[in-house]
């Protein structure tokens, strides 16, 4: 059983500018930056938002709808700041800001002789024209969105990445087919942490497999950039502070895309899966651990990683759901005993049955079990043992990125053994003992 769902995808095309001055795009992005910063400045000066919108839009040297998109972007950043109890205050931009446009107003696309031409209104009555470049897959999706009534082309951003002009175009399939959650055969419990994500695949017959994907560099780089920004602020170098913040956001964004892609690839191995997350939307309201820990926890990209996984999985027809996170990290997946003392950082040891496990993997199993209990006429399997804990590490090295399984930790009869490890075969996911 499937259900229709609207899904949006971003396509990336390098630009081959053939008419108009390419510097117009640079000037337009400078104006976008000015508009964004002006919204922030007037907000911090206490202006009413309706008045800000009218004044900034009227004075912007951009196509009207483009100016509105940039203003909305600034308001979204402010909304997120205030919704999260004044965490993540938007800063003034010092680099060029992407030119954000509506299809048919700020930019247009034309199918012509097996290629796609573009026209971008960088400023009123000033156009930049040329051809899109890119991969066949990207062009196939774009062409389908332009021709098919069930698809449509949405907003786009013109920006410079790696020294080249690019157009990032959103396309939406209004009737994409996603499997129904209630008919899923495999439940994949997910536990997201600041340095790893744990996945456990469970059926009504028992546990199929599990994996812990480590991404230590996200935490390390975030702390590194925080330290540099703090020093810049103390020295009064606000321009550098903003540059470092933007670099941090791009790094985290790219890493989360890689992690989410690996997660979905792993989940696709199973029959009719559903992905189950912990519902953490109220997490910030319940956390008060002091300034340093609050900063770390409030700024973690839990929601962004979940969104990336959900979005990529939906394009593969895989549904997602969530459960109440209460006690999932404290509950023993074998005997069900729940106690805070069961968990000590990354180590789980049940005070009742003495089962030992990787704490995050155990939480992933508990999430899957909790989802099954919520369903009518579904069996929650009794677990006597769990498979070995396999760990993948996402990291960068001088020779290039390593984003496959690197180390596994074996378990026997549900107990984690000490000082026993193996190296995984990246192609099969199997491990050979050391």
How large a percentage of the chain has pLDDT more than 90?
A: 59
Residues 18 and 143 in one domain: yes
Mean pLDDT to the nearest integer, 380-387: 90
Residues 145 and 203 in one domain: no
Q: Domain of 250?
A: 181-393
Does 388 or 424 have the greater pLDDT score? 388
Angle at 94 between CA 92 and CA 95, to 5 degrees: 130
Domain contains 403:
no
Residues 155 and 196 in one domain: no
Residues 154 and 185 in one domain: no
Q: How confident is the model at residue 354 (pLDDT cuts 50, 70, 90)?
A: very high
Q: Which residues pair with 41 in a beta bridge?
A: none
pLDDT at 433: 32
Last residue of a domain, one of 150, 177, 204: 177
Residues 138 and 235 in one domain: no
- CATH for 217: 3.30.420.140
Residues 11 and 88 in one domain: yes
Residues 364 and 227 in one domain: yes
Reported as a single tens digit per residue, the pLDDT across 279-295 is 876 555 555 555 555 55
Residues 370 and 286 in one domain: yes
CA distance 294 to 297: 5
Indicate if the pLDDT at residue 33 is higher than 70: yes
Residues 107 and 256 in one domain: no
By the 10 Å C-beta count (0-12 exposed, 13-18 middle, 19+ buried), 94 is classed as: middle
Reported as a single tens digit per residue, the pLDDT across 174-192 is 999 999 998 999 999 999 9
Residues 161 and 282 in one domain: no
Domain contains 431:
no
pLDDT at 205: 93
Supply the pTM of this predicted model: 0.72
Does 414 or 240 have the greater pLDDT score? 240
CA distance 13 to 158: 10
């Amino acid at each position: 059983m499937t259900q229709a769902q609207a899904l949006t995808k971003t396509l990336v095309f390098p630009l081959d500018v053939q008419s108009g001055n390419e510097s117009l795009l640079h000037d337009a992005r400078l104006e976008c930056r000015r508009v964004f910063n002006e919204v922030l400045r007037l907000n911090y000066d206490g202006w009413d938002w309706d008045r800000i919108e009218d004044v900034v839009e009227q004075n912007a040297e951009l196509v009207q709808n483009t100016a509105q998109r940039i203003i909305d972007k600034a308001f979204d950043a402010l909304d997120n700041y205030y919704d999260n109890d004044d965490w993540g205050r938007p800063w003034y931009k010092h680099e060029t800001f992407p030119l954000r446009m509506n299809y048919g107003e700020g930019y247009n696309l034309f199918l012509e002789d097996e290629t796609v031409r573009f026209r971008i209104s960088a400023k009123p009555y000033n156009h930049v024209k040329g051809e899109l470049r890119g991969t066949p897959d990207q062009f196939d999706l774009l062409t389908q969105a332009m021709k098919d009534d069930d698809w449509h082309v949405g907003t786009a951003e013109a920006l410079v990445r790696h020294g080249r002009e690019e157009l990032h175009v959103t396309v939406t399939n209004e009737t994409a087919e996603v499997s129904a959650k209630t008919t899923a055969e495999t439940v994949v419990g997910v536990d997201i942490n600041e340095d790893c994500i744990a996945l456990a695949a469970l059926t009504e017959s028992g546990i199929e497999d599990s994996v812990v994907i480590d991404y230590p560099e996200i935490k390390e780089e975030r702390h590194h950039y925080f330290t540099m920004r703090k020093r810049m602020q103390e020295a009064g170098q606000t321009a550098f502070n903003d540059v470092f913040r933007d670099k941090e956001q791009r790094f985290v964004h790219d890493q989360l895309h890689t992690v989410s892609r690996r997660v979905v690839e792993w989940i696709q191995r199973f029959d009719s899966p559903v992905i189950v997350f912990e519902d953490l939307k109220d997490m910030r309201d319940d956390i008060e651990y002091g300034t340093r820990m609050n900063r770390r926890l409030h700024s973690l990209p839990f929601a962004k990683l979940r969104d990336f996984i959900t979005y990529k999985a939906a394009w593969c027809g895989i549904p997602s759901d969530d459960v109440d996170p209460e006690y999932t990290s404290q509950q023993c997946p074998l005997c069900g005993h729940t106690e805070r003392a069961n968990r000590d950082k990354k180590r789980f040891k049940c005070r009742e049955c003495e089962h030992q496990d990787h704490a995050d993997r155990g939480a992933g199993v508990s999430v899957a079990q909790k989802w099954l209990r919520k369903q009518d006429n579904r069996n929650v399997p009794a677990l006597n043992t769990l498979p070995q804990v396999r760990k993948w590490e996402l990291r960068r090295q001088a020779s290039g990125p390593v984003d496959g399984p690197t180390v596994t930790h074996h378990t026997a009869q549900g107990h984690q053994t000490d000082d026993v490890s193996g190296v995984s075969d990246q192609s099969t996911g199997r491990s050979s003992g050391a």
